[in-house]
Structure 1
Amino acid sequence: MLPKITTAIAVFGFLSLQGQAQLNVQSGATFFMQAGAQVTVQGDVQNAGTLNNDGSLRVQGSYTNTGTYTGVGSTGALEMYGTGNATLAPGAATNIIQNLIINKATATDVVTLTASTTVNTAFTLTQGVLTTNPTVTPAVALVSPATTPYTFAAGKEVVGSIRRTGWSNGATRVFNQPNMLVTTNAGTAPTDLTVTMIPNGDPTQGEREVKRKYTFATTGGTGYTANVRYPYAASELNTNTEPGLVPWTLVSAEWNARTNAITRDAGNDWVNITTIPAAELTQEWKLADQNYAMNVTAYLRGNWNNATTLMRNTLNTGNRIPLAQPYNAAPFNYAGTEAVGSIPNANVVDWVLVELRKPASGLPADAVIGTLIGRKAGFLLTNGTVVDLDGVTPLSLPINKQGTGNFIVVRHRNHVSAMSFAKASNATGDFTNNFSSLANVYQKPAVSLPVALLPGNATLYGLWQGDTNGNGAVTAADISLINTVFIGPAAGNTNVYNVRDINMDRNVTSADISLSNSAFLGAVNGSSSKIAIGALQSAPERKPVISHVPDEGNEIE
């Protein structure tokens, strides 16, 4: 059996002492280790006296200090080694450990700090886990000057809080692992900066997230910005994809994506962001994929073919669909760069624009264009499915906020837009709405239906046809635009991609006037009769179709 050493008197000059079961320094005693000496204790160390360490104290069990831990220079090292979990209780804040080494036998052996521990000269994590137990003792931290080097073996990291003191601008500092980095610039630097990182942690709220939590705390400082590198593990990704990862910050109980000045390294599992304002830095942060799958179904009434219960793909078969999204001009003013080398699917009908709006009130009436949190153009297939540029997968929409009260809007260049009821974002990263069901489409009070029954169909609805000028309503002005072209040169009406081509057969004809009039009259019985050019003057009282999407068609209501 290994001996247990209890010192009740002053002990000087230990050069080497190996294989002790326990070391107990009683109150009033001094245990002195000279430079170059090594003491290995295979059990616990308890110090109630003075432990003067200029050598190396290796502890396999727990280390508890209620006395004084000191040394003459900066060479003294405390090494937590061997098998099994252990605790490290440093005692008073004045008990500074010059060199702390965590070198346990296996990756699952855990050393837990029970109080904040100051390490001045160097910290090394070779094997095992060091934790400050942040969910139980959130005030505990590993504390070091900003310039103290931290060394980690591959794949090793500290769980919990690390505080760097004597902070200054312009230098990149390492925290919980080699890729948990922070730099501050400009303004007045804080005097210290704390990072709390919890691997396999659970960020606030049940949203889409990488299972790792980050918080930051500072003392002092104003007007500075921060560059932060956020590490993660592949096992924490959940439904997130690495190319879509961005940092998110929790502000007023709402997650907000930071999408500018982002760099990613999927090989080394980190995301970097620059120029975070000081006020934002001290919020809770996480990583998450900003790209949400939009499982959207919608039909265009003007293009419906009831015989096949599909929309026609005539624009596609005639090579009239542009290769770049067509919504970059008024009234859509969408600056997206979506483009393809060729139309990717024979069943593509046309481009559509999908938006996600999130008003602060959560009310549909407030979901105006200024509440956009994401928009993207995609392809509409003959069966009503909206797909991404590959022509197959659901539209992947980058968004910049998470939470409840989201409204999906689907827009088309010559049909009236429609909006869903409120949707909550979720942990799986998708939104779903089938606009062919009237129950899934938001309707303003005291206004006619937001979508129309498809001709010859008793259950399916489609977007109202005929909004030629894109003002959110079908009025005489839209029909006049078709009339103007229809009576013009034939060359301008044939084999075209034109907003006046309401039925999307590549030609502007009386059939397009008829379709627009059917919406304008509210006559949704699927009539295909042609209306003469001069019929406007003799038409009965009109009931214009108006968009139910907020801030569209307001001048008509």
Structure 2
Amino acid sequence: MKKFVFIVYKKLHFSVLSVTMLISGSCFSQLFVSSGATLNIQSGGVVTVQGDITSSADITGAGKVQLKGTGNQNINMNGFTIPNLEMDNSANATLTGNARIGTDLLFTNGKILQGNFNVVIAPTATITGAGISKYLVTNGTGSLRKSSLGATSFTFPVGNTTTTYNPVTINNSGTSDEIGVRCLANVLSTGTSGTAFTKEVADASWDISEAVAGGSNLNLTTTWDASDELPGFNRTKGGISYYIPTAGPTQGWDMLNSQTGAAAGTNPYTYTRTGITSLGAFAVGTRPVLSPLLVSPKVFLQGPFNTGTSVMNDGLRTVVVVSGGTTDATHGVIPTTEPYTSLSGFTHSGSGGAETISAGVFGLFNVTNNDAIVDWVFVQVHDGVTGTVVGTRAALLQRDGDVVDTDGTSPLNMAGFAAGNYYVSVRHRNHLGVRSLNNMALAKTTTTPYYFTTAQTQAFPGAVSNNPMAALTPTALFGMWGGDATGNRIVKYTGPGNDENQLLNITLGGNKLGNITVYSISDLNLNGQVKYTGPNNDESILLNTVLMATNY
């Protein structure tokens, strides 16, 4: 047996030669192992490399190679094995070829940037010492792969950049397989491609693969830091979602509301999902990665309906504050956060609540055609058998009656429910709500329209069997009854809890000549002003329009 001490200032080059190293060596430049050569580092032996490594053969033995450069080091193992590799370079290392770890990958300092190359961890091999500043960066198409992953959990210490660490832990109760993990920089609309989501997700995703398709049954735990959370992310009602890539009615993110809950941990945080048999893109989030459920209701509100144009007025959008308060020329007095969370009688469930209009969507309020926004509405989906409300969503109402999502144009997404049969209801803060007469089939990838506007019989009659909606024109159009200034789902002019008292005495302080510009439940015609007398007053809406017998 030969014993060597190497102090090399340029290149340590093993050609067609068999060398056994018993004690430590130092290589201050490159380590090069040619095809056909053998480098065997026995137990206790350490080859310290401060330059690059290139190998066209397996390095064998129980000793280790130590990366300890002062600048970035390139590693090209050409898919061959290093039995033990210690990463101890704060300037990092970069793969320029695939590599395999036979026994252990030890992180002491720095990160390994994988680029487009894979690191394969042998069946019994380990990764030790990894953490928030010491991990593998999957900044390309390369992945970290664990061979023969079975019931024993394995942590993949990965991140997409040198500043974001998002490890995942996986075990497999199915057929053992080589499982690969690649961390992506963002959560993308179509899994591993598409537009990056800008809110309500942890800003990373994981592309998880298997060498042999089928047979895996994974339990997956994802990890993220508070700094990864984008605006609106709610770690009390999130979870792990999988993107179904197959074209068809199930394509898209698959998480249901029943799979959401509170995250574990205290920064970093974790979610766990079990029973995973299909692999691909996984992400942590709330609404953007919930399974879509699309519906396109059409409804008119009686208060702002204009019989001359057969659409609703958009006074809340166009009004200018003339006395106190503030306004924004882009949306009048319409709030940019949904109003229903703070109103009694409206309880959000499922994925509903706290919907907002982002700054980039403000432009939709400047639309002056029939797509202009009238107000927020409160939409509910009900179980198709029992009628029980299972989910809600605050949505936007256009002048022509279209109920759309918070981008102002898209079909309404009642996210987090599987495709199936549901009743749909639409409510408003000062109008009486309506529910579809029958349940309807709602889908994930195509929207289902429903017109409450075309007939009385489009609305479930409930206790008032003859007039679930108000007749807005003599023959053709119907809408939700207005005048509910108290928000108690009853419209009346006298007696306890009447709406006239709410309008005059509570909102206007008893001043019949009062006129205030405000976003208020007492603004029955939704023109942005509350007034009792004079043109376009709300008392007239209550008495002469809503309670007039010809509307029944």
Write the letter of the residue equivalent to 1:68.
Answer: G
Map 1:206-355 onto structure 2 (within 5 A): 212-213=205-206, 228=225, 248-250=238-240, 254=255, 275=266, 280=271, 286-287=283-284, 290=287, 297-313=298-314, 328-332=342-346, 350-355=374-379
Aligned to 1:532: none
Is it true that 1:64 corresponds to 2:79 in the alignment?
Answer: no
Partner amino acid for 1:413?
A: R
Residue 537 (structure 2) pairs with residue 507 (structure 1): yes
Distance change >3 Å, CA 47–CA 40, structure 1 → 2: closer
Preserved CA contact (<8 Å) 2:34 2:57: no
Distance 1:35 1:462, change over 3 A: same
**Range with greater deviation from structure 2 (440-449 or 321-330):** 440-449
Change in 2 beyond 3 A, CA 1:281/1:306:
same
| 1:415 aligned partner | 431
Which amino acid is the alignment partner of residue 382 of structure 1? Answer: R
For 1:383, the equivalent position in structure 2 comes to: 400
- Aligned: 1:40 with 2:51: no
- Tell me what 1:178 maps to: 162
1:356-393 alpha-carbon deviations (Å, 9 max, x no partner): 66x7x67672215xx44x536x5x4533356899xx94
Unaligned 5+ residue runs, structure 2? Answer: 147-156, 168-179, 198-203, 209-221, 243-253, 277-281, 322-331, 528-534
Give the 3 Å change call, closer, same or farther, for CA 436–479 of structure 1 in structure 2.
farther
Q: Is the 8 A contact 1:433 1:440 kept in 2?
A: no
How far is 1:68 from its partner? 1.6
How far apart are the structure 2 equivalents of 1:400 and 1:417?
21
Q: Distance in 1 between matches of 2:36 and 2:320?
A: 80
Q: Unaligned regions of 5+ residues in structure 1, if any?
A: 1-8, 163-172, 184-194, 216-224, 233-241, 262-272, 522-526, 529-544, 546-557
Query: Is this contact kept in 2: 1:121–1:149, CA < 8 A?
Result: no
Q: Which whole-Å CA distance do the structure 2 matches of 1:127 and 1:12 have between them?
A: 32
Contact 1:201/1:213 (<8 A) preserved: no
Q: Tell me the distance in 1 between the aligned counterparts of 2:503 and 2:63.
A: 94
Whole-angstrom CA distance in 2 between matches of 1:445 and 1:45 = 86
Aligned residue in 2 for 1:222 = none
Work out whether residues 485 and 493 of structure 1, in 8 Å CA contact, stay in contact via their aligned partners in 2. no
Q: 1:331-371 CA distances to partner (integer Å, 9 max, x unpaired)?
A: 34899698999x967777853333466x7x67672215xx4
Question: Aligned equivalents of 1:202 and 1:337: distance in 2?
Answer: 20
> How far apart, CA to CA, are the structure 2 residues paired with 1:72 and 1:349?
65
Partner AA of 1:60 in structure 2: T
- Structure 1 residue 70, shift from structure 2 partner: 0.9
SS in 1 for 2:75: strand
Alignment deviations for residues 176-203 of structure 1 (CA, whole Å, 9 cap, x no partner): 64333379xxxxxxxxxxx955338999
Letter in 2 for 1:416: L
2:122 maps to 1:121:
no
Is 1:145 equivalent to 2:169 in the alignment? no
Match of residue 199 from structure 1: 184
- Once residues 517 and 88 of structure 1 are traced to their aligned partners in structure 2, the CA distance between those partners, rounded to angstroms, is 84
Residues 58 and 350 of structure 1, relative CA distance in 2, 3 Å threshold: closer
Query: Is the 1:355–1:410 contact (alpha carbons within 8 Å) kept by the matching residues of 2?
Result: yes
Cα distance in 2 for residues equivalent to 1:473 and 1:299 = 18
Specify the SS of the correspondent of 1:55.
strand
1:162-173 mapped onto 2 (5 Å cutoff) = none
Q: Could you tell me how far 1:501 is from its partner in structure 2?
A: 4.4
Give the direction of change, closer, same or farther, for the CA distance of 1:375–1:138 in structure 2 (3 Å limit): farther
- TM-score normalized by the length of structure 1: 0.53
Residues 381 and 99 of structure 1, relative CA distance in 2, 3 Å threshold:
closer
How far, CA to CA, are the matches of 1:120 and 1:313 in structure 2? 62
Question: Secondary structure at the residue paired with 2:543?
Answer: helix
In structure 2, the residue matched to 1:366 is 388
Aligned 8 A contact 1:493 1:509 in 2: no
* Aligned residue in 2 for 1:516: 546
8 Å contact kept, 1:54–1:72:
yes
Separation in structure 1 between the aligned mates of residue 441 and residue 191 of structure 2, nearest angstrom: 17
Query: How many pairs are equivalent?
Result: 438
Q: In the aligned structure 2, how far is the partner of 1:486 from the partner of 1:50?
A: 89
Structure-2 change in CA distance of 1:453 and 1:97 (3 Å): same
**1:481 matched to which residue of 2?**
498
Larger radius of gyration: 1
Change (3 A) 1:449 1:112: farther
Query: Is contact 1:249–1:255 with CA below 8 Å preserved after alignment?
Result: no
Tell me by how many angstroms 1:125 deviates.
2.9
Give the deviation of 1:299 after TM superposition.
1.4
Counterpart contact for 1:35–1:75, Cα < 8 Å: no
CA distance in 2, matches of 1:36, 1:454: 88
Partner secondary structure for residue 344 of structure 2: coil
SS in 2 for 1:250: strand
Q: 8 Å contact 1:486–1:510 — kept in the other structure?
A: no
Does the 8 Å contact 1:451/1:461 carry over to 2?
yes
Separation in structure 2 between the aligned mates of residue 140 and residue 199 of structure 1, nearest angstrom: 27
Change in 2 beyond 3 A, CA 1:124/1:306: closer
- Distance of aligned partners of 1:50 and 1:72 in 2 relative to their CA distance in 1, 3 Å threshold: same
TM norm structure 2: 0.54
SS in 1 for 2:387: helix
| 1:464 shift after superposition | 3.3
SS at match of 2:98: strand
- The CA deviation at 1:228 is 1.8
Task: Show CA shifts across 1:218-256 (max 9, x none).
Answer: xxxxxxx98626769xxxxxxxxx756777423897356
Instruction: Report the alpha carbon displacement of residue 152 of structure 1 after superposing the two structures with TM.
Output: 8.2
Identify the residue that residue 159 of structure 1 maps to in structure 2: 143
User: Which of 492, 501, 526 in structure 1 is aligned with 2:512?
Assistant: 492
- Which residue in the other structure is 2:173 paired with? none
The 8 Å contact of residues 298 and 463 in structure 1, kept in 2 or not, is answered as: yes
Structure 1 letter corresponding to 2:62 = Y
Q: Against the structure 1 CA distance between its residues 278 and 386, is the aligned structure 2 distance closer, same or farther, given a 3 Å change threshold?
A: closer
Q: Is 1:54 aligned with 2:51?
A: no
